[in-house]
């Protein structure tokens, strides 16, 4: 069975002396990868909550305000990032002048230098806004009773762990579906997503890089 996919859909990656066919996921495979990541990350955090909540609370008891603010802010990280970008968007990239005219190389350099400086200023404003929001969350947390402070900190820590574990498990599932043998593109390289978690980081990163650049074949060459 074949499925229509975008024109850029697969690439060969060389891992040591072996070639690996890396193909983009179809809709079904992507849904399976997301479901796998959700279930495994929830299972991991549930186990962590049951077995180590007291340990986490003890470890967090000695951290400073900066670290506490980071932990408490983690659940809002993506929302805040989007809000900061909306509040302080980058300016439109300037048009450069014709290089064929004398002196225009210097003019273009001056234009881009000014643009880079403006962008750097915007980055500073974004950081300041995130810092203000972090300080607000921290101040609200400090107003809570001690017992509730610990509970809130543990919950925020577990939420941050949930996010990081989802990303890890999703990567495992994505590469499980994407990586096929060079001589038979219907055969998976890995037995299951968990096996992907055992490969060295440099090989995983190489395969992910290949996935992001996948091209070179027609959609008809991609097996389900």
The predicted pLDDT at position 133 comes to 93
Per residue of the chain (224 residues), give pLDDT as tens. 344 444 447 788 888 888 998 888 888 888 899 999 999 999 988 887 766 666 766 766 677 888 888 888 888 888 888 899 999 999 999 988 887 777 788 888 999 999 999 999 999 999 999 999 999 999 999 999 988 888 888 888 888 888 889 989 999 999 999 999 988 888 999 999 999 999 999 999 999 888 887 754 444 444 44
Total Cβ atoms within 10 A of residue 153: 21
Q: Distance between CA atoms of 224 and 222, rounded to whole angstroms?
A: 7
The predicted pLDDT at position 211 comes to 87
Q: Please provide the distance, in angstroms rounded to a whole number, between the alpha carbons at the two ends of the chain.
A: 7
The predicted pLDDT at position 50 comes to 67
Q: Contact 156/75 with Cβ under 8 angstroms?
A: yes
| H helical segments located in 61-103 | 65-73, 77-87
Two tokens, residue 5: 């996919």
The predicted pLDDT at position 37 comes to 93
The predicted pLDDT at position 129 comes to 94
Matching residue, tokens 């399976």: 32
Q: Contact 190/198 with Cβ under 8 angstroms?
A: no
| Cα–Cα nearest to 199, from 171, 161, 162, 221 | 171
Q: Contact 221/10 with Cβ under 8 angstroms?
A: yes
């Amino acid at each position: 069975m074949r499925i229509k996919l975008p024109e850029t859909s697969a690439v060969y990656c060389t891992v040591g002396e072996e070639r690996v066919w890396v193909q983009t996921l179809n809709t079904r495979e992507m849904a399976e990868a997301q479901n796998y990541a959700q279930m495994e990350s929830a299972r991991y955090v549930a186990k962590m909550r049951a077995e180590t909540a007291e340990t986490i609370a003890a470890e967090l008891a000695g951290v400073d305000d900066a670290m506490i603010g980071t932990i408490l802010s983690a659940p809002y990280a993506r929302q805040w990032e989007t809000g900061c970008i909306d509040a302080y968007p980058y300016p439109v990239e300037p048009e450069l002048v014709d290089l064929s005219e004398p002196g225009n190389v210097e003019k273009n350099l001056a234009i881009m230098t000014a643009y880079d400086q403006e962008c750097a200023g915007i980055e500073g404003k974004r950081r300041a806004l995130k810092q203000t929001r972090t300080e607000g969350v921290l101040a609200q947390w400090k107003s809570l009773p001690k017992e509730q402070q610990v509970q809130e900190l543990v919950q925020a820590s577990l939420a941050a762990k949930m996010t990081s574990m989802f990303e890890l498990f999703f990567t495992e599932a994505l590469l499980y579906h994407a990586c096929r043998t060079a001589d038979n593109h219907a055969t998976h390289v890995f037995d299951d997503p968990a096996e992907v978690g055992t490969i060295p980081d440099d090989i995983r990163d190489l395969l992910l890089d290949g996935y992001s650049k996948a091209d070179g074949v027609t959609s008809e060459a991609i097996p389900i």
